[in-house]
Amino acid sequence: MLAVDTGLVEEWLSEFKTLPEASISSYATNLKDKSALISSLYRVIQEPQSELLEPVCHQLFEFYRSGEKQLLRFTLQFLPELMWCYLAVSASRDLQSSGCIEALLLGVYNLEIVDKEGHSKVLSFTIPSLSKPSVYHEPSSIGSMALTEGALSQHGLSRVVYSGPHPQREMLTAQNRFEVLTFLLLCYNAALSYMPAISLQSLCQICSRICVCGYPRQQVRKYKGVNSRIPVSSEFMVQMLTGIYYAFYNGEWDLARKAMDDILYRAQLELYPEPLLVANAIKASLPQGAMKSSKEGTKCIQVEITPTSSRISRNAVTSMSIRGHRWKRHEQAENGNDATEIGNFIIPEISVTNVSGEKTGNGEKSRALAENDAQHIQGVQETATDPRTDSKCMPEIRRQKSVRKMMEDGINSSGRVQF
């Protein structure tokens, strides 16, 4: 560690001890803007053998229990790096050098599981219903949902999941280690919107390191220092994915993509269903090639806007709309029948034989032709009087008249039908 970093950290340690009570609020507000100090504190935490590590951990714990929100968030931003340092030291079985880090993690955990009166907290989480729209989905995009009796009985009911009460811990063991770390990462994710970029970068990096250390992918990532495998739980990996999903859209696209791939790689090796489900869901929802740069600032998620009330009322299905729909269908059916009758205008046949097929005399032929012609002319006139078909049937009427005239001329000249 450089001498400049040592000087900044020592000044920070001494400054808070002499700070009056009335100046704590303004001090906490200005503390988050001291980027050089924050970088120096990260370097102190990354060196377990540093002499400044123990006073730094003590100071961070004092910040956390002071009750000032700005100081509490200042401590929370170092939580991912503290977890990695503790897990790395635990994997190397050098527990003595991680005593101050373990004490800080246990102190934060024991403060978070109780309220101000000292009673155990019970956290509640409301699971959203897929039948109602949210900022993440629209029911119309999911598909048709069967309105069964059971579905209707559950409609509008919100399902609440409870977490806690959590027991207090005096030390971290192999049995309770990830129970404590998972809860701490849950507290960190609750304050993600207040975390600076350096904290999100640290989160992505430690998630990637935890998942690949001791596996063949470590050689691909070129991670050094810890070569043994670090055990993780399924719940802890889900909490890691929660923070990484936020980092995707807040300036750390490249690091978040690498961390998610490494978590997916480890989840496949461990056969953990929950992180596999969450990681694949995040991967499927990411825009393809839309966010290349990791330094473009805060991103937004594009969602479909729920239609307004006026749009819903205009398209609502009512008894009047159903009745009008039936009328339209009835009118269309009538128009179709009329069009069929017009299109199928049939030319009457002129028969020169009787029903039995026997030939008749010339007088009978003339009478039969005259009757057929009269019926045919009457049908043509009735059809032509329809204004809808008047213009369409004029060529057909002229053709029928010409046929009749030719037939009459043939009968008068020779007494026989000529073709």
pLDDT in tens, the chain (419 residues): 677 788 899 999 988 888 888 888 888 888 888 999 999 999 999 888 888 999 999 999 999 998 889 999 999 999 999 999 999 888 877 666 678 999 999 999 999 988 888 888 888 877 777 777 776 667 766 665 555 555 555 555 667 878 778 888 988 888 899 999 999 999 999 999 999 999 999 999 999 999 999 888 888 888 887 888 899 999 999 999 999 999 999 989 999 999 999 999 999 999 999 999 999 999 988 887 545 444 445 555 555 455 544 444 455 555 566 666 555 555 655 555 554 454 444 444 444 444 444 444 445 445 554 555 555 445 544 444 444 444 444 545 555 555 566 565 555 554 454 44
Do 388 and 338 touch, CB atoms closer than 8 A? yes
Whether 78 is covered by a domain: the verdict is yes
The amino acid at residue 224 is K
pLDDT of residue 203: 95
Q: State how far the Cα of 330 lies from the Cα of 267, in Å rounded to an integer.
A: 61
pLDDT of residue 160: 80
- Helix ranges (H only) for 249-300 are 253-270, 273-285
Examine the domain organization and report whether 240 and 133 are in the same domain.
no
Whether 1 is covered by a domain: the verdict is yes
Examine the domain organization and report whether 136 and 215 are in the same domain.
no
pLDDT of residue 316: 52
Q: How many domains does the chain have?
A: 3
Examine the domain organization and report whether 226 and 243 are in the same domain.
yes
Give backbone dihedrals phi and psi of 137, rounded to 5 degrees, phi first. -155, 165
Give backbone dihedrals phi and psi of 298, rounded to 5 degrees, phi first. -70, 135
pLDDT of residue 117: 82
Examine the domain organization and report whether 4 and 112 are in the same domain.
yes
Give backbone dihedrals phi and psi of 4, rounded to 5 degrees, phi first. -65, -40
The amino acid at residue 124 is S
Distance of CA 334 to the CA centre of its chain: 48
The amino acid at residue 25 is S
Examine the domain organization and report whether 26 and 96 are in the same domain.
yes
Examine the domain organization and report whether 24 and 77 are in the same domain.
yes
Q: Residue 68 has which token pair?
A: 């000032």
Q: Which of 272, 289, 306 is the last residue of a domain?
A: 289
Q: Residue 330 has which token pair?
A: 């009835």
Q: Residue 225 has which token pair?
A: 């220092």
- Phi/psi region, residue 244 (left: phi>0; alpha: psi -120 to 50; beta: rest), is alpha
Examine the domain organization and report whether 263 and 276 are in the same domain.
yes
pLDDT of residue 354: 45
Do 109 and 115 touch, CB atoms closer than 8 A? no
Do 277 and 268 touch, CB atoms closer than 8 A? no
Examine the domain organization and report whether 277 and 226 are in the same domain.
yes
pLDDT of residue 84: 93
Whether 207 is covered by a domain: the verdict is yes
Q: Residue 79 has which token pair?
A: 């939580």
Cis, bond preceding 80 (omega within 30 deg of 0): no
Q: State how far the Cα of 207 lies from the Cα of 252, in Å rounded to an integer.
A: 14
Examine the domain organization and report whether 138 and 103 are in the same domain.
no
Whether 172 is covered by a domain: the verdict is no
Whether 412 is covered by a domain: the verdict is no
Domain of residue 53 covers 1-117
Q: Tokens 């101050």 label which residue?
A: 100
The SS3 of residue 102 is: helix
Q: Residue 220 has which token pair?
A: 């691909």
* CA distances in angstroms from 187 to 5, 10, 116, 182, listed in the order given: 29, 28, 16, 9
Whether 126 is covered by a domain: the verdict is yes
Examine the domain organization and report whether 213 and 242 are in the same domain.
yes
Do 139 and 215 touch, CB atoms closer than 8 A? no
Examine the domain organization and report whether 89 and 157 are in the same domain.
no
Q: State how far the Cα of 7 lies from the Cα of 131, in Å rounded to an integer.
A: 58
Which contiguous run of DSSP H or E holds residue 139? helix 139-142
Examine the domain organization and report whether 131 and 218 are in the same domain.
no
pLDDT of residue 384: 45
Q: State how far the Cα of 226 lies from the Cα of 92, in Å rounded to an integer.
A: 8
List of long-range contacts for 263-268, beta carbons under 8 Å, 24+ apart: 263/207, 263/208, 263/211, 263/237, 265/211, 265/212, 265/215, 265/217, 266/211, 266/212, 266/215, 266/232, 266/237, 267/237
Whether 401 is covered by a domain: the verdict is no
Whether 110 is covered by a domain: the verdict is yes
Q: 162: Cβ–Cβ under 8 A, 6 or more apart, which residues? A: 122, 123, 124, 125
